[in-house]
Amino acid sequence: MFEAERALPPLRLYNTLGRRVETFEALNPPTVLMYSCGPTVYHFAHIGNMRSFLMADVLRRTLQYNGYRVIHVKNITDVGHLRDDVAGQGDDRMEEAARASGQTPYEIADYYTRQYLEDEAELGLEEPAHRPRATEFVPQMIELTRELVRKGYAYEAEGSVYFAVEKFPTYGTLSGNRLDNLVAGQRVEIEPGKRSPADFALWKAGDPGRLMNWPSPWGQGFPGWHIECSVMATELLGEQLDIHTGGIDNLFPHHEDERAQSEAASGRTFSRFWVHGAHLLFGEEKMSKSLGNIETLTQLVERGVHPAAFRFFLLQGHYRKQLSMTDEALAGAQVGLERIWDQAAELWQSERGELEPGREALRRDFVEAINDDLGTPRALAVLQEVLEAKLSPASKLELLTDMDRVLALSLMAVAEERSTLSAEQLALIEKRKAARSEKRWDSSDRLRDELAAQGVDVRDTPTGQRWANRQRAL
């Protein structure tokens, strides 16, 4: 059901383009066209990267909760992302990784793409409608570059093609970087033929030693990083997007350049909303491969952190605010999520009762939270209010199921798993119930210990025994 028909509070998002929170309206409701910058697959994605991807997942789920049909594209960058993003210089990260390992760039891309997709699944991210690879769209990148040259926005220089930033008057509007400051701030040697330090490459001349070159009207070469996303987005979604997402690191130069070349080519607004996620910090430091302070999701799991607990931890911080990750914070998130899972399991095992009208006030509180610029910290607080409310188990379970459409914490799946016992374990539960009713406390304790040895934690409540089967937890 569409948002207007459900009388939901309007969805409001912080739009980096206007630097303010705005009411979201789709270009062609109920469809939303959404593009997310995906990983450059030369190495494992670290958990700082995953925070940005999680933000996009929460946004997509929130849109779907509001009744929109989201066509989501998330790319794989497998060529053209140079070591120095701002200057557009240095080694191609894919080629650098290939030479270091003795493999081809395509083998590197395949391996790290598989690892990344496994991480996405572990973290509960929904699969996008399209997941294009940059190398699949090189002919279209060449064609877009030709169009920008034809229109006077780009020029060729010694086999490379550059976008002339001064030809695009609104350059810098998205990131806030003024052209004169960019030119004055350059401290690197300008490439031969490049007219201005601020101009960026649409196409780079490829030297004979490169592993990834394509023929073009300007000679052998390869696409620039920014042109890749413009092409993949427009080829799969059209010239105008509703939402473009990425981490704050993508804002400049990547998104600024992407916007400039796309709008110069089409003459239309490229994306109405730009949504950026803030950094995940290790203590007080930004997490970065260059700083060597990264950790992967696999490494987190190896040291005992459940992927859903990491998701729960990230949801505790607002996506636009930096979030500091410590062992203590992760441990607290894991304990908190385990408690919620156990409470959901207890509800699952209870007499359900009737659905009550009083639950609607809590549902509205939840919607107001997520529709207020993806307010996940407040949404989690409402989740806790549901668990503590004086409502029937049926009402609570219905609300938890509804909220988990956005939060994706596997609440019902875990509740069912933890409530499931073997025939032998159910028999022990019944024996313990009889022992307690006959006040045979020693027998009751012995049976609880026997169940605990099988991974089943039993708790006594005013309405009877409740349990959590740890052996069957996700």
Task: For 110-135, write each residue's pLDDT tens digit.
Answer: 999 999 999 999 999 999 999 999 99
Look over the chain and give the mean of its residue pLDDT values, rounded to a whole number. 93
Residue 188 pLDDT more than 60? no
HSE-CB at 439 with a 13 A cutoff on CA atoms is 0
Q: Which residue has the higher pLDDT, 1 or 462?
A: 462
- What's this model's pTM, rounded to 2 decimal places? 0.94
- Residue 101, token pair as written in the block: 């390992």
Position 6 scores a pLDDT of: 53
Nearest CA among 230, 273, 374, 244 for reference residue 19: 273
Q: Which residue segments constitute the domains of the chain, with CATH numbers given?
A: 3-286 (3.40.50.620), 304-418 (1.10.730.10), 423-472 (no CATH)
- Amino acid identity for residue 254 in this structure: H
Q: For strand 160-163 and strand 154-157, is the pairing parallel, antiparallel, or unpaired?
A: antiparallel
Per-residue pLDDT averaged across 280-302, rounded? 80
Position 3 scores a pLDDT of: 45
Task: For 318-374, write each residue's pLDDT tens digit.
Answer: 999 999 999 999 999 999 999 999 999 999 999 999 999 999 999 999 999 999 999
- Tell me if residue 424 falls in helix, strand or coil: helix
Peptide bond into 30 cis (omega under 30): yes
Confidence of residue 248 (pLDDT cuts 50, 70, 90): very high
Nearest CA among 1, 29, 25, 31 for reference residue 13: 25
| 152 φ/ψ angles, rounded to the nearest 5 degrees | 85, 10
